[in-house]
Amino acid sequence: MTSRPTSGNGADWRAILQAHARQTYLAGGARPDAMETDVALGRLAHLLGPMAEEALRIVESFAVGALASDVAAGLPSNEVPPVFDTRLAIILNGLAPEAEQHRQGEAPPPHVIQHDLWQLLYKVRESAELSYAREIDLVELDRRVLFLLRNGGPVVPADISSAVGVDKAQVSRSVKRLLDFKMVERDQIRSPVALTRKGVALADRLLRLAELRNRELTFDISDDELSRFYAVIEQLLQRAVMLYEQERARGSKDVRSLNPFAPDPDYVPGEGNAVKIERSRILSPLMTLSAYFSRSGALTFKRLTGLSNFESWVLNEIALDAPIEWNTLVARLDRDHSQAGRTVRSLVERGLISRDGKPGRRHGRFSPTEEGRRLFEIIQEASRQRSAFLMAPLSVREREQFLATFDKVRRNAVVQLERERTFDELG
């Protein structure tokens, strides 16, 4: 979860980037007038600091790709279609956490990493689904298992679960799907899972594609910077496993505390829970980190509020910017309308949020009720303390370097996703 300013000049940078993207689109994909661009860059530098020029490049790339897609679809190029602004809003939401921290006169809010990981990995997963679907119709976990077996050889299901940070039931379903596709084989249920010749061929093909995608995500990141990034991830993974094991132990004892999260700094995870890192893949350790941190978060939020991980996220987004419009909420969640709609309806029925305006779940504006506000404060405090515990071993310099590299990966993911969406529409 995260904290976000909701007033003042925070929206100015969005308006500048929206106008620049629309001008690029209407100019036929050419960069707008140099003087106008310099003016926009000057205003953005005041609001966004060093990320101003990068933000301009991102929205320009999006506008060029959107124009090419629309022209291919036979749409007129002299007007900007409504869907353009909707997709642009998703890109700007990806820039929002950093942008808000650069607002003048305000100290940056405490960094909460779980929300950032969710947003990054959701974008990467969506673009990966579009890209890999052109090869074979496998879900993300299936591909991760294939990659793991290709890089490490035969592995028993329990170790697969530990390596990818996913529970054994999900791994079992994935292995069954791969068995049905004849991509893997094993002698007995608990025997090591190994790739077949067909599985090796597919894994190699997907690995080549994955390597290309990973190179794109690491654009503008040097080898030394990437090495430091991996070193920090290893530390964070150890802490994430610690959080997960400790929360499971608390749950078994049904411990409830007035303090939302007070971890034991001397707690050490068990020896059987080592996390395997595929160093040649930048996404693999990030996915494992997110999986363990999210699983412990789900247990924490459920224990403290009775809400699921996604329900906590939805309530958090509504309370941060209440009253919030439906389309704005869905864009920030990066989920489809159906999933968001079911969750919002559940929260309304439980008396945690209220809706004003036109009837219908996809209209009006949403705000937390008094009880919803109380749970929101618990979520916020728990999120801050969880993130503080996760980042505690890092020095100030290590933390700054890690977050700076993470930001580069996230911005590259935004560009990658828009490219895959364009390819999908053209195809």
Domains and CATH numbers, the chain: 8-107 (no CATH), 134-217 (1.10.10.10), 220-393 (1.10.10.10)
Residue 253, judged by CB atoms within 10 A of its CB (0-12, 13-18, 19+), counts as exposed
Please tell me what DSSP assigns to residue 275. Answer: P
368 confidence band (pLDDT: 50, 70, 90): very high
Task: Using the predicted structure, report yes or no on whether residue 90 has a pLDDT greater than 90.
Answer: no
Please give the share of the chain, as a percent, with pLDDT higher than 90: 9
The CB-based long-range contact list for 241-245 (8 Å cut-off, 24+ gap) reads 241/269, 241/273, 241/275, 241/292, 242/267, 242/268, 242/269, 243/292, 243/293, 243/296, 243/386, 243/389, 243/390, 244/292, 244/293, 244/295, 244/296, 244/299, 245/269, 245/270, 245/273
Nearest to 269 by CA among 297, 295, 231, 243: 243
Q: Collapsing DSSP states into helix, strand and coil, what is residue 171?
A: helix
Instruction: Give the pLDDT confidence of 38-50 residue by residue, as tens digits.
Output: 666 667 766 666 5
Task: Using the predicted structure, report yes or no on whether residue 351 has a pLDDT greater than 90.
Answer: yes
Contact 247, 296 (CB under 8 A): yes
When the pLDDT of each residue in the chain is averaged and rounded to a whole number, the result is 77
* Lowest-confidence region among 180-184, 349-353, 356-360: 356-360
Task: Please state the φ and ψ torsions of residue 366, each to the nearest 5 degrees.
Answer: -115, 140
Q: How far is CA 234 from CA 89, 229, 284, 334, 386, in A?
A: 33, 9, 12, 28, 17
Which pLDDT score is estimated for 37? 64
Which pLDDT score is estimated for 372? 92
For the residues 225-254, what does the mean pLDDT come to? 81
Nearest to 411 by CA among 150, 70, 103, 51: 51
Q: Report the chain's C-alpha Rg in angstroms.
A: 22
Q: Render 282-346 in DSSP notation, one character per residue.
A: SHHHHHHHHHHHHHHHHHHHHHHHS--HHHHHHHHHHHHTSSEEHHHHHHHHTS-HHHHHHHHHH
Type of residue found at 216: E
Task: Using the predicted structure, report yes or no on whether residue 261 has a pLDDT greater than 80.
Answer: no
Which pLDDT score is estimated for 358? 64
310 confidence band (pLDDT: 50, 70, 90): confident
Task: Using the predicted structure, report yes or no on whether residue 20 has a pLDDT greater than 70.
Answer: yes
* Lowest-confidence region among 162-166, 283-287, 317-321: 162-166
Which pLDDT score is estimated for 105? 41
Which pLDDT score is estimated for 266? 47
Which pLDDT score is estimated for 334? 60
The residue among 277 and 249 whose pLDDT is bigger is 249
Type of residue found at 254: D
Which pLDDT score is estimated for 253? 59
For the residues 396-424, what does the mean pLDDT come to? 87
Which pLDDT score is estimated for 425? 74
Nearest to 111 by CA among 333, 408, 400: 400
Which pLDDT score is estimated for 275? 41
Which pLDDT score is estimated for 193? 92
Q: Strand runs (DSSP E) across 135-183, as ranges?
A: none
The span from the CA of 236 to the CA of 12, in Å, is: 35
The residue among 118 and 192 whose pLDDT is bigger is 192
Which pLDDT score is estimated for 387? 82
Exposure letters 259-269 (e unless 16+ CB within 10 A, then b): ebbebeeeeeb
371 confidence band (pLDDT: 50, 70, 90): very high
The residue among 72 and 374 whose pLDDT is bigger is 374
For the residues 299-319, what does the mean pLDDT come to? 87
Which pLDDT score is estimated for 137? 72
The alpha carbon dihedral of 48, 51, 57, 59 has a sign of negative
Q: Count CA within 13 A, CB hemisphere, residue 53.
A: 2
Q: Collapsing DSSP states into helix, strand and coil, what is residue 417?
A: helix
The span from the CA of 194 to the CA of 154, in Å, is: 4
8 confidence band (pLDDT: 50, 70, 90): very low
Task: Using the predicted structure, report yes or no on whether residue 322 has a pLDDT greater than 70.
Answer: yes
